[in-house]
């Protein structure tokens, strides 16, 4: 089990392998489909993004409203593939990690290798438990998108699994291969 903190360096990303379990602490940013579309528009227009990409991590989540005493409500991952068309450009600009659920495209996996980045899975269906690891949250961009606005989260020991590493490792493919051999 690795205990890691944002922002990420290339040296940290080089240590991580598909299948590694980690707990992540520090500042991360949230963005789902609509926020990614807006960020792509901003880049095409030559505008700055609402947060710096270099060394940072995006969590594909649209958190529910916070209950009293909580930073956020349920905060489970959304399907990452919906962000695949935007991801290579964000990685080129310095993004080092993404958190979501589900497999990534071959283009994203190639970009992870090229730009030294990593993709983590958070456990789907465990949004209330994951929300307990968010100690502070604030909307920093696109508030009109409601839960899909870009948030800045401060997380403490958010449990994750490395799915795709910078070496081409793919936990989902490895798992299928192991299962096929056991049958």
- Residue 70 sits in a domain whose CATH number is 3.20.130.10
Structural domain including 99 reads 2-182
Instruction: Give the phi and the psi of residue 129 in degrees, each rounded to 5.
Output: -70, -40
- Write the pLDDT tens digit of every residue in 29-49: 999 999 999 999 999 999 999
Mean pLDDT calculated for residue range 59-63: 96
- Residue 183 is predicted with a pLDDT of 66
- Write the pLDDT tens digit of every residue in 63-96: 999 989 999 999 999 999 999 999 999 999 999 9
Task: Tell me the β-bridge partners of 116.
Answer: none
- Residue 125 is predicted with a pLDDT of 85
**175 has pLDDT over 90:** no
28 φ/ψ sector (left φ>0, alpha ψ -120 to 50, else beta): beta
**103 has pLDDT over 80:** yes
Percent of the chain with pLDDT over 90: 91
Count: domains in the chain: 1
> Cα separation of 56 and 53, whole Å?
5
- Write the pLDDT tens digit of every residue in 4-30: 999 999 999 999 999 999 999 999 999
- Residue 173 is predicted with a pLDDT of 84
Q: What is the DSSP letter of 31?
A: -
- Residue 179 is predicted with a pLDDT of 60
């Amino acid at each position: 089990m690795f205990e890691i903190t944002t922002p990420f360096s290339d040296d940290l990303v080089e240590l991580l392998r598909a299948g590694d379990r980690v707990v992540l602490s520090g500042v991360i940013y949230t963005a789902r489909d609509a926020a990614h579309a807006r960020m792509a528009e901003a880049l095409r227009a030559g505008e700055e993004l609402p947060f710096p990409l270099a060394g940072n991590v995006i969590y594909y989540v649209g958190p529910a409203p916070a209950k009293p005493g909580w930073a956020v409500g349920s905060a489970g991952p959304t399907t990452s593939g919906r962000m695949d068309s935007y991801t290579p450009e964000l990685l080129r600009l310095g993004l080092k990690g993404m958190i979501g659920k589900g497999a990534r495209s071959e283009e994203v996996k190639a970009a992870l290798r090229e730009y030294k980045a990593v993709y983590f899975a958070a456990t789907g269906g465990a949004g209330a438990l994951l929300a307990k690891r968010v100690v502070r949250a604030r909307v920093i961009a696109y508030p009109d998108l409601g839960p899909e606005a870009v948030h800045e989260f401060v997380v403490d020991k958010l449990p994750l699994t490395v799915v795709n590493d910078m070496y081409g490792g793919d936990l989902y493919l490895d798992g299928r291969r192991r299962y096929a051999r056991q049958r």
